[in-house]
Amino acid sequence: MSSMRLTGYADKFGVHPGESIKFYVNCDGPSQYKAEIVQMINGDTNPRGPGFIEKPVPGSLEETVSGRKQIIHGGSYGFVPDCNALNVESFTLQCWVWPTTPITHPKYWKHGAQGLVTKWSDDVGYGLFINEKGHAEVRINGEKLESTTPLRDHAWHFLAATFDAKTGKLILIHEPQIEYALDPVIEPVEMTISGKLKNTSTPLAMAAYVDGVSEDPLAASSLPAGITFAGKYNGKLDTPRLCAKALSRAEIEMMKLGAQPGLTERRNSGPTGPLSEVIVGAWEFSEGISTLVATDFGPYRLDATLVNCPTRGLTGHNWSGTTFDWKQSPGEYGAIHFHDDDVDNARWDVDFEWTVPDDCKSRFYAAKLTTPEGDEDYIPFWVVPEIGDEQSKIAVMVPTISYMAYANEHVACNAGGAELFIYRVPIMQHQNMFLAEHREYGGSIYDTHTDGSGICLSSRLRPILSIRPKYDHFLAQAPWQYPADLHLIYWLETMGYEYDVFTDEDLTYDGLARIENYSVIITGSHPEHNTGTQLDALHNYTQRGGRIMYMGADAWYWVHSFHPAYDELGRGVMTEMRRCESGIRTWRADPGEYYHQGTGELGGMWRFRGRYLHSVAGVGMSSEGFDISSYFSRTPESNDDRVSWAFEGIEYDEMLGNFGLVGGGAAGLELDIVDTMLGSPPHTLTVATSAGRHTEAYLLVMEDFGFNQQGLDGTTHPRVRGDIAYHETPNGGACFAFSSIAFCGSLPWNNCDNNISKLVQNVLDRFAVPGPLPAAPADAIKYRGRADY
Amino acid sequence: MISIPPAGSPEREALIAEHKACVDSMKGVAGFSILKCETPGDTTVVSGGVHESPLLKRVLLRMRGESPAGKLIVVCTKVEAEWRIARLSGIRGVPPEFIDDKVYDCEQEIQHEIFLMRLDELPESAGMPEDYHEGWKRRSDNWPVT
C-alpha cells in the first residue's frame, strides 16, 4: 500500500479575508509537489452519495513547491542551556521517579535507555537514567553503574547518585517508596571511576538525553533547533536536585527539602548553610504548573524549558489524598509526567503561504497538495469573516475543538479495534496505518499514550490526518467529524444557501460578538468538546433571540480549555481535557488529577460542573452505538402549532431518514434525547423519535445509571433513542435539535431530495429570517414543571 | 462463558451460515452489523443475526473482546476499492502487518473471512481457567479498551 509521503498543517484553522495563512509540509520522497487552494464541498467517497467534490477558488495559488522531508521530534522533555554551574567535578543528583515503562518490548518504537536528569551525551558527562533492562543507572562519561533490581512500574522511587571526584567513588541509591513483603532489600551500589568527569557543552536534559548537535535540516525542528534528544522518558519526575558535591545519605535526605529560599532571616538558598554552598539546581515542578517552565529555586535560576507539553498538575510522590485541586496544595503536585509521544508543535519550516483575497467567501477550504505519482494531502482551514464584516445571516460553527480531540486517533490500533463497541472488525485507512508507525505525530484525547496513560492535551500545530476528506473513520465505517460535517456543507451548497463559517476558537475568544449578527448558527454533526466561554456565548445568543440548529448529537459534553502558554502562537493551539468521574471515557484520570494544568479549572463533563448538556440546545446525549443507523418517526407534538411549520411537505407517517451515508439512516452513532430533569426546557417539544429501533450495539450512557444491570441496549432500553426537538428561547429565539450524529449523512441522499433535507430546509428558512421568530400561540404560554407537568 | 463450537459441529455450521447471510445483506450499507437487512443494503428493517441467535452473539462478543496482539483487522488499501486483512502488533509504534497478499473488493465480505479465521483460531477453552496466565492480573487478559 502507498505510504503517505505528503503530510502538512497550517499555522491557523481560521483565517480572515486579507490575512495570510502559512503551510508546513513534509514531502518525504517526491522532489516537488503542486500546491493549490480548493473549496471543500463533499469529502465522502461513498458511491451511493454525490462523491468527492472540491471547487476551484478565485485567487488560489497554484505553485510547484520543492519537496523536502520534515520530521517531528516527538516526546516531551525539559532542558537547561549549558552553563558553568552545571559542569561539575563532583555531584549529587537526586529525584523521585514514577516510571510507567521502565521495561519495553524490544520492538517498542523507542526501546532503550531513558534519560531522567542528564548532562550527558555520547559518553561525555553525567546523568541519571533508566537503562534498557529497566534498572536505575548513573553514567559518568562511558562508565555505567546500575541498581540491583529493575524499577517497579507505576510506583514511586527515590533515586540518588553521588560522585566524589577526589576518590573516584560513584554511588547509586535506589529506594522504593512502597515495599512489599517479598521484595528484596535494595542496597546502594558503588564503583570507583578512574578518570575525571568530562563535561559536555550540551544542555542539561530532563526526561531525555542529548542525542547530538547537528546542522542537518531535519534537526532544525527540534528545540533548541539543531540539538536532538533521545531516551525520552515515560513517567513522572518529581523534585530533581543537583549539588556539586558527593553528599552523605543524611545530607541527601536534607536536600529533599530543596532550596527553601525566602525566609527573611536566612541568607542562603539551602536547607542548611553548608548545603546552600553546593546547590547547583533545585527544581520545583509545583511552581508554574500552567506554564512551560520548570522553575529552579536554586542560586543560579536554572529554569528548564519544557518541550512538547508534558502533563502537569499531577500528583507527586507526597500527595496526601486530601487535596484534589493542584491550586490548593501545589507542593503535593510537584510531578511532571513526561511521555515519549507528547507533541505540542511540529516546528516545521514554512513551505508556502496564501493571502486570502479580501473578497473571499467565508467557507471550508483546503490546501491541496499533489504529485504526478499520485501522492495527495489536503490541509483544511476556514475563511472566517472579521466581526462586523459578516457575509451572510447563516453561520456554521465548525467544531474544531472536537476535531482536535479526535486528532490522529489510534483507538483502532491501541484498543484491539474497540470491537465491542463498534460491533464489527474495524477498517483502518492509510492515515491510520501511517500513524500506527509514526507515533511522533501524537495521538488524540481518545487515546492513551504509548505508556498507557491518558492523553489529555492535543495540539493543532502538527499534521492532523483525521481532519481529511476521503477519510472513513473506523467508528462509523463512514465519515466522522470533519468529512461528516462536509455532508452538511454539500447540502448548503446544493440548496443554494449563503453561509459564513467560524470555528470553536473564534467563539471561545470572541464571545457573543462573534455570533450576534447572525440569524441562525448551525452546528456540526458532533460538537462534543467545548470551552466554557463558548457555551456562555451560545447561551447569551439564544437568550437575545438567536437561533441554533443543532445538527448532531453528543455535544456540550466535555470541559475543554486552551492552554495559555501557547497563546502567543495563535488561538486555540493546545486544547486540554481530563476524563474524570463519569462520561464515556476511553481512559480515566487518576485520583487527584481532575484539574486542568493550563487554566486550573475542574475538568470532566460539563454535566458535573452543573452545566447540563440538555440546557444548550434542548437535548443531551443518552446512548451510542456504532454498527448501523435507523430512522425517526413523528410524534403528535410535531403537529403542535408552535412547530408544525417544520413539517410542511412531510406526511405524518413518513419514515424520516431511513436512508443515508452514515450507517444507512438518519438516527445513528450517538443519540440525544429530551430530558427536562437534565436541563431540557420544560416547554421543549419532542417532534420525532427513533425509539425502539436501535440495535443491541447501542447502549445507554454510563452517566445515566448508577448500577450495572441488564437491559441497557437498544433492543430493550427506552432511553436508547434519538429525539428531534424544538423549543423557543426568549426574544424570538429558538433551538432545533436533530439529535443524531448520523443525521447529516442523510442530507445529501438522492441529490438532497428527501424528507430529512425538507425538514432541515423548513427550519433553516424560518430561522434565517432576520428579526425575532413569530411569537408562540397565546395558549402556549403557561408555567411548566420539570418532573411534573 | 460459552465455548466456541468445534469445527464440523452443526452449531458451528449454523453460525457460519447466519453470519454469511447477514454480511451479504449489509452490502451497500455505510456501516455494518451482524443483522439481516430485509431489503439488502437498507437498514430500515433488520432482524436475525445477533438479535436472534444468542450463540452467535456470544461467540462474536468473545472474538471482539480478544486482546490486541495478533488481532485481525481490515485495512483499506485503495479508497472504496480494495481491502486486505492484517494483524495488530500489540506494540505501540509497530504497525499492523498484512497476513497475505489477498485483496478483497468488498468491505463487508471481509468481515466474514475474518469470522471464519477467528473460529479456527479461538480455542474452545478461551477464557476458562485452563487458559489462565499471569497477564490476567495486569489487564492483559481481555481488556480491549484503551
Residue in A with minimal Cα distance to B33? A627
Numbers of helices and strands, H then E, in chain A: 12, 43
- Fold observed for domain A6-72+348-391: Immunoglobulin-like (2.60.40)
| Distance between B44 CA and the closest CA of chain A, angstroms | 6
Q: Is the dihedral of CA A247, A251, A253, A258 positive or negative?
A: negative
List pLDDT tens digits, range A84-103: 999 999 999 999 999 999 99
Sorted by sequence, the CB contacts under 8 Å of residue A474 that are 6+ apart come out as A411, A412, A417, A418, A422, A426, A427, A428, A429, A432
Query: With an 8 Å Cβ cutoff, is B103 touching chain A?
Result: no
Half-sphere exposure of B117 (CA within 13 A, CB side): 18
Give the three-state DSSP class for A656. Answer: strand
B145:A413 CB<8 A? no
- Delimit the CATH 2.60.40 region(s) of chain A: 6-72+348-391
Question: Residue A425 is nearest to which of B92, B114, B145, comparing CB atoms?
Answer: B114
d(CA A403, CA A418): 20
Grid cell digits, residue A350? 514554512
> What integer is the mean pLDDT of A519-541?
98
pLDDT computed for residue A269 by the predictor? 79
Please, where are the H alpha helices in A194-242?
none
d(CA A470, CA A472): 7
Specify the range with the lowest mean pLDDT, choosing from A259-273, A626-640, B7-21, B30-44: A259-273
Sorted by sequence, the CB contacts under 8 Å of residue A788 that are 6+ apart come out as none
Question: Residue A658 is nearest to which of B44, B74, B146, comparing CB atoms?
Answer: B44
Q: Are A231 and A223 spatial neighbours (Cβ–Cβ below 8 Å)?
A: no
Query: Which residues in chain A have Cβ-Cβ distances shorter than 8 Å to B33?
Result: 423-424, 627-628, 695, 697
Query: With an 8 Å Cβ cutoff, is B96 touching chain A?
Result: yes
- Eight-class DSSP state of A453: P
Amino acid at A247: L
Which residue is it, cell 520492538? A107
β-partners of residue A724 are A688
d(CA A428, CA B76): 6
pLDDT beyond 60 at B141: no
pLDDT beyond 90 at B65: no
Residue in A with minimal Cα distance to B85? A427
d(CA B112, CA B18): 10
Query: With an 8 Å Cβ cutoff, is B107 touching chain A?
Result: yes
Q: Are A605 and A615 spatial neighbours (Cβ–Cβ below 8 Å)?
A: no
- Eight-class DSSP state of A280: E
| Start-to-end Cα distance in chain A | 61
- Fold observed for domain A77-338: Jelly Rolls (2.60.120)
Mutate to test the interface with B, among A46, A154, A427, A438 (most CBs of B within 10 A): A427
| Distance between B6 CA and the closest CA of chain A, angstroms | 22
What is the CA A761 to chain-centroid distance, rounded? 34
d(CA A342, CA A779): 58
pLDDT band at A577 (very low <50, low <70, confident <90, very high): very high
Query: Which residues in chain B have Cβ-Cβ distances shorter than 8 Å to A46?
Result: 30, 80
pLDDT computed for residue B133 by the predictor? 85
Q: Any idea what the Cα angle at residue A728 is, between residues A725 and A729, rounded to 5°?
A: 125
Sorted by sequence, the CB contacts under 8 Å of residue A706 that are 6+ apart come out as none
pLDDT computed for residue A788 by the predictor? 79
B43:A664 CB<8 A? yes
| Distance between B35 CA and the closest CA of chain A, angstroms | 9
Q: Any idea what the Cα angle at residue A420 is, between residues A623 and B62, rounded to 5°?
A: 140
A477:B63 CB<8 A? no
B76:A472 CB<8 A? yes
* C-alpha separations of A90 from A204, A428, B107 in Å: 16, 54, 65
A696:B75 CB<8 A? no
pLDDT beyond 50 at B146: no
Strand A32-42 to A14-15 pairing: unpaired
Please, where are the H alpha helices in A395-472?
400-405, 411-414, 419-422, 430-437
B46:A695 CB<8 A? yes
Query: Which residues in chain A have Cβ-Cβ distances shorter than 8 Å to B71?
Result: 416-417
Q: Are A453 and A443 spatial neighbours (Cβ–Cβ below 8 Å)?
A: no
A417:B146 CB<8 A? no
A130 closest CA partner among A109, A156, A151: A151
A668:B32 CB<8 A? no
Sorted by sequence, the CB contacts under 8 Å of residue A462 that are 6+ apart come out as A9, A72, A343, A345, A346, A407, A408, A441, A442
Grid cell digits, residue A546? 438567536
Q: Are A732 and A687 spatial neighbours (Cβ–Cβ below 8 Å)?
A: no
pLDDT computed for residue A1 by the predictor? 47
List pLDDT tens digits, range A295-339: 999 999 999 999 999 999 999 999 999 999 999 999 999 999 999
Q: Burial code of A256-268, b = ≥16 C-beta within 10 A, e = fewer?
A: bebbbeeeeeeeb
| Distance between B1 CA and the closest CA of chain A, angstroms | 16
Grid cell digits, residue B118? 477467528
B95:A437 CB<8 A? yes
Burial of A773 (0-12, 13-18, 19+ CB in 10 A): middle
Amino acid at A23: F
List pLDDT tens digits, range A109-142: 999 999 999 999 999 999 999 999 999 999 999 9
Which residue is it, cell 505501540? B92
Chain B, 122-141: which have a CB under 8 Å from a chain A CB? none
Helix axes B109-121, B10-25, angle to 10 degrees: 160
pLDDT computed for residue B124 by the predictor? 79
Residue in A with minimal Cα distance to B143? A415
Residue in B with minimal Cα distance to A625? B33
pLDDT beyond 60 at A41: yes
Chain B, 27-46: which have a CB under 8 Å from a chain A CB? 28-35, 41-44, 46
B31:A430 CB<8 A? no
Query: Which residues in chain B have Cβ-Cβ distances shorter than 8 Å to A478?
Result: 30-31
DSSP assignments along A591-628, one per residue: TT--B-TTT--B-SBGGGGT--THHHHS-EEEEE--S-
Q: Is the dihedral of CA A773, A776, A782, A786 positive or negative?
A: negative
Cis peptide bond N-terminal to B5, omega within 30: no
Which residue is it, cell 504529485? A371
What is the CA A723 to chain-centroid distance, rounded? 29
Give the three-state DSSP class for A379. Answer: strand
List pLDDT tens digits, range A198-246: 999 999 999 999 999 999 999 999 999 999 999 999 999 999 999 999 9
Query: Which residues in chain B have Cβ-Cβ distances shorter than 8 Å to A437?
Result: 93-95
pLDDT band at A13 (very low <50, low <70, confident <90, very high): very high
A695:B73 CB<8 A? no
β-partners of residue A66 are A32
Mean of the per-residue pLDDT values for chain A?
A: 96
Query: With an 8 Å Cβ cutoff, is B58 touching chain A?
Result: no
List pLDDT tens digits, range A588-599: 999 999 999 999
Query: With an 8 Å Cβ cutoff, is B71 touching chain A?
Result: yes
Count CB-CB contacts under 10 A for residue A244: 18
Grid cell digits, residue A42? 463533499
- Eight-class DSSP state of A535: H
B31:A412 CB<8 A? no
List pLDDT tens digits, range A662-714: 999 999 999 999 999 999 999 999 999 999 999 999 999 999 999 989 999 99
Query: Which residues in chain A have Cβ-Cβ distances shorter than 8 Å to B26?
Result: 628
pLDDT computed for residue B144 by the predictor? 52
Question: Residue A476 is nearest to which of B31, B43, B78, comparing CB atoms?
Answer: B31
